[in-house]
Amino acid sequence: MAGGSGTRLWPLSRAGFPKQFLVLSGIHSLFQLATARLTQGEWSPSWSVAAPLIVGNEEHRFLILDQLRDMKTDPGAVLLEPMGRNTAAALTLAALQAVALGDDPVLVVTPADQTVTDPQAFAQSLNRAVAAAAKGSIIILGVTPDRPETGYGYIRCVAEEAAEASPEGASSAATPVAEFVEKPDLATAQRYLESGHYSWNSGLFVLKASVWLAALAQFRPDILQACEAAWALRQTDGPFVRPDREAFALVPSESVDYAVMERCPGSAFDIRRVALAAGWNDLGAWDAVWQVADKDGDGNAVQGDVLVEDSRNTLVHATSRLVSVIGLDDVVVVETADAVLVADRARSQEVKKIVTRLSAQDRGEPSLHRKVSRPWGWYDSIDAGPRFQVKRILVKPGASLSLQMHHHRAEHWVVVSGTAEVTCGERKILLTENQSTYIPLGEVHRLSNPGRVPLEIIEVQSGSYLGEDDITRFEDTYGRQ
């Protein structure tokens, strides 16, 4: 499930490039790591693993494909939600796709933005979960608590069996779930930890596709019927499967937990917990990122060009320049090219309030970075002023922008590296390094990269209006309007 917005990891996470696609450390994004855990994990010889089903946002479809391609992974399908309708709808789309393939597989359902530090322990728990789910049970992976955490929901297991799955060693048992519990206060969380009967709700579920559809039919038939209506009118384009937009807009927005899981205890559906002790974290806020990051002797976690002096238990993440901090304890500092966040680490959940205020002011920072990913490459808005804007543009080998026209601006292009094929009106020319061209206002044009190496250009725009919506497209390789 890769459709989240990740607003609490702003300013690194934006609506156009949310946290699941970010590389927080190493070389792979959270989405790529989640995919690798499932497709390349240590599975039991009893299971064959199908190509993954990805449920994501229409806007992120090329991000998904590009990151899968980097991992040399082909998806079984990329199911594109025309708008967000929460995780119950996302799982239902995946179940309908799985059943449409003529099988009733066990679905291993995971968010794309979690992290695990012990892949072997993760695989062991997952194999136990699949074995139980294959017999018809609904399995939730419950994380063995190691502290009184107030930021997670909890699962209470049947008392006499829960003792077999203590923190000292995860049991092979799939323990019956008695109830789901909302996020507690600190005293209650401490009591849960001491009892040994509670686990954190990881949001990782394992169950047969038919079992999910049957449970949804019993508990929330309105969600199932609306999803089926959108699914019946779906369109397929290569790996992309698109449910009907108008029908999908009528799907009630509800989470997997509220729609089904919390209703299962005491019902005809057998819901069980398999313990997970694998260094799991859902990275829901910057404090969680600090918890799983490598730290120095003073508890500081740094990423990028950072200098830290006389500071403790502080997270500093720099993306585009030197960031130095002095005398900061328990603080989060996150720098991007167009925004800086400084926050008390204990209050990092409140970053969402800043994003809400920025959105209310109709500012662009919640949506896009200065450097914006596109299916053909990316552009970076490096300078702007009255009636002008300068962009650095990279076009991938073999890619091209749409055939387009602007009503309010002219453009000058200078090739920095690579080869550019430029369509300007009736003319088509090739430009190489240090060569340039001019695109008059109102002229139909296109930029393509016919070469085998990336094309990089500097674009200078001038005119009365320079917004990205001043584009009339006539042809587009990527199906954009």
Q: Is residue 480 part of a domain?
A: no
Residue 268: pLDDT band by 50, 70, 90 thresholds? very high
Domain check: are 293 and 158 in the same one?
no
Residues 344 and 469 grouped into a single domain: no
Reading the block at residue 101, the tokens are 């393939």
Q: Is residue 363 part of a domain?
A: no
Arithmetic mean of pLDDT over the chain: 91
What DSSP element (H or E) covers 430? strand 427-431
Reduced to 3 states (helix: H, G, I; strand: E, B; else coil), residue 63 is: helix
241, 168: one domain: yes
pTM for the model stands at 0.85
Residue 171 has pLDDT above 50, yes or no: no
- Amino acid identity of residue 252, one-letter, is P
Please tell me the total count of domains within the chain: 3
Whole-number percent of the chain with pLDDT over 90: 71
Q: Phi and psi dihedrals of 478, rounded to 5?
A: -105, 10
Confidence of residue 163 (pLDDT cuts 50, 70, 90): very low
Q: Give the model confidence (pLDDT) of 66-94 as tens digits.
A: 999 999 999 999 999 999 899 999 999 99
Same domain? For 332 and 388 the reply is no
- The domain boundary, picked from 328, 358, 388, lies at 358
What is the band of 328 on the pLDDT scale with cuts at 50, 70, 90?
very high
Same domain, 178 and 322: no
Residues 179 and 96 in one domain: yes
Please state whether 327 falls in left (phi above 0), alpha (psi between -120 and 50) or beta. left
Instruction: Please state the φ and ψ torsions of residue 351, each to the nearest 5 degrees.
Output: -55, -30
Q: Residue 1: inside a domain, yes or no? A: no
- CATH code of 440's domain: 2.60.120.10
Q: Is residue 364 part of a domain?
A: no
Give the model's pLDDT for residue 159: 62
Cα distance between residue 48 and residue 201, in whole Å:
27
Does a structural domain hold residue 447?
yes
Confirm whether 303 is domain-assigned.
yes
Res 299: pLDDT: 97
In a domain, 16, yes or no: yes
- Preceding amide of 450 cis, omega within 30: no
Residues 290 and 272 in one domain: no
User: Is the same domain home to 300 and 323?
Assistant: yes
Structural domain that includes position 393: 371-475
Residue 366 inside a domain? The answer is no
Q: Are residues 221 and 354 in the same domain?
A: no
Distance separating alpha carbons of residues 177 and 169, to the nearest angstrom: 19
**Contacting residues for 340 by C-beta, under 8 A, at least 6 apart:** 11, 333, 334
- Listed in order, strand segments (DSSP E) in 279-419 are 301-303, 306-309, 315-318, 323-326, 331-335, 340-344, 371-374, 377-385, 388-395, 403-405, 409-417
Q: Are 78 and 50 in a shared domain?
A: yes
Same domain for 311 and 459, yes or no, is no
Q: What is the pLDDT of residue 170?
A: 41
Do residues 208 and 322 both lie within one domain? no
> Strands, E, within 270-376: which ranges?
271-276, 301-303, 306-309, 315-318, 323-326, 331-335, 340-344, 371-374
